[in-house]
Amino acid sequence: MSLAQRPTSGPPPSPVEPLATGRPAGPTGRAPEPAGPTGRTRFARELLGFAATGGLAYAVDLGLFVWLRGPVGLDPLTAKALSFVAGCSVAYAGNALGTYRHTATRGLRQYGIFFAVNVAGALVQLLCLAVSHYGLGFTSQRADTVSGAGIGMALATVLRFWGTRTLVFRGEGRDGSWTG
């Protein structure tokens, strides 16, 4: 009996009849749980690993920027450029050796793609700040912080997560993509 022909009421499906998942039903009429972590669990672990790595990279970026601006005395753009590259390097290493260690993709090409994804994220933050400050006229320090470091950071993080998982570390060992 196919799923389309199955009556809506009556006894549960037989244990040998396959469900929509293609697995035979268990004694309760439901498919048995798969062995190992589920797709949701893997996704949650990946997201948490990405967030932890990003937090560490942010701390390196901020700490190095403050040190380069203060005691070293570099101009703000040079200090930020150097701290950004250092933060990207820490994030790449953390993701390659931690979060996405099960993928086979490593190397200079992947680092270049990773760096480009992070530059795109930085541009998203700048775009949010520019739209808020110059387009909408919200010029207070609080508005700049909310738009650049709040909304911009949230959107940039989504972009970075998507880019990192689908463009950089898209190797085997992961079930599907959250992008559909």
Q: Consecutive sets of 10 residues in the chain, 180 residues long: mean pLDDT of each?
A: 53 52 55 64 91 93 90 88 93 92 83 94 92 92 87 93 92 46
Closest by CA to 108, choosing from 168, 175, 39, 48, is 168
pTM for this predicted structure: 0.68
| Residue 15 pLDDT | 52
| Residue 9 pLDDT | 58
| Residue 35 pLDDT | 56
| Residue 38 pLDDT | 76
For residue range 76-85, what is the model confidence (pLDDT) as tens digits? Answer: 888 889 999 9
For residue range 70-105, what is the model confidence (pLDDT) as tens digits? Answer: 899 988 888 889 999 999 999 999 999 999 988 876
